[in-house]
């Protein structure tokens, strides 16, 4: 009965409670959408690829940038057309694999958001755990697509 409540401005409540209340009030449908996880995944993938696109674009006009490539003597960097083809493949794979998996996982998830916001530490740990889990599953999928299985005896 004497438990502290997590009201706005309460010193005992989670630090993120005010933000959590506004999310629960206005964006609950977005947070519970399977498109959010897939969108975050594809945007993260593209954000991590963007610096390499910029360096390849600069490498096509600047010899100094091209000399810092891992395969510096292998010729010119990929063209923007090859980057666009790669982008289309990424978009296709996320649409056909990640989005359906996110929708399937959304069916297993509780449709209600909790009343109390997580602590900053819990948020950090869970976000890192999600990145590690996603990276591990992505590695397993990638490895299984490119590995050769031993021939049947």
pLDDT at position 150 is 57
In whole angstroms, how far apart are CA 45 and each of 49, 77, 134?
Answer: 6, 20, 11
Percent of the chain with pLDDT over 70: 84
Identify each DSSP E strand in 3-119 by its residue range.
none
> 6 falls in which pLDDT band (50, 70, 90)?
very low
Distance CA 23, CA 57 (A): 39
pLDDT digits (tens, 9 = 90+) for 67-103: 777 776 677 778 888 888 988 988 888 888 878 888 8
Higher local confidence (pLDDT), 5 or 147: 147
- Rounded to the nearest integer, the mean pLDDT of the chain is 78
Higher local confidence (pLDDT), 102 or 13: 102
pLDDT at position 62 is 80
Distance CA 108, CA 129 (A): 18
> 33 falls in which pLDDT band (50, 70, 90)?
confident
The candidate with the shortest Cα–Cα distance to 120, out of 28, 47, 22, 17, is: 17
Q: What is the pTM of this model?
A: 0.60
Q: For tokens 């390499």, name the residue.
A: 52
- Judged by average pLDDT, the poorest of 48-52, 101-105, 126-130 is 101-105
**Cβ(48)–Cβ(55) under 8 Å?**
no
Dig out the tokens for 15 from the structure. Answer: 């630090």
pLDDT at position 101 is 81
Q: Taking the alpha carbons of 59, 77, 57, 79 in that order, is the dihedral positive or negative?
A: positive
Q: Where are the domains of the chain?
A: 33-110
pLDDT at position 149 is 57
Question: Per-residue pLDDT for 125 more than 90?
Answer: yes
């Amino acid at each position: 009965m004497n438990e502290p409540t997590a009201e706005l401005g309460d010193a005992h409540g989670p630090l993120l409670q005010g933000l959590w209340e506004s999310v629960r009030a206005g964006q609950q449908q977005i947070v519970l959408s399977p498109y959010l996880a897939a969108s975050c995944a594809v945007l993260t993938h593209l954000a991590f690829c963007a610096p390499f696109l910029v360096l390849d674009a600069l490498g096509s006009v600047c010899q100094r940038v091209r000399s810092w490539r891992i395969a510096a003597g292998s010729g010119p960097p990929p063209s923007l057309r090859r980057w666009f083809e790669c982008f289309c493949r990424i978009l296709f794979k996320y649409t056909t694999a990640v989005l359906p998996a996110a929708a399937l996982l959304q069916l297993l998830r509780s449709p209600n958001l909790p009343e109390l916001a997580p602590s900053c530490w819990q948020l950090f740990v869970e976000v890192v755990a999600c990145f590690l889990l996603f990276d591990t599953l992505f590695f397993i999928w990638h490895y299984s697509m490119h590995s050769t299985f031993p021939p049947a005896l």
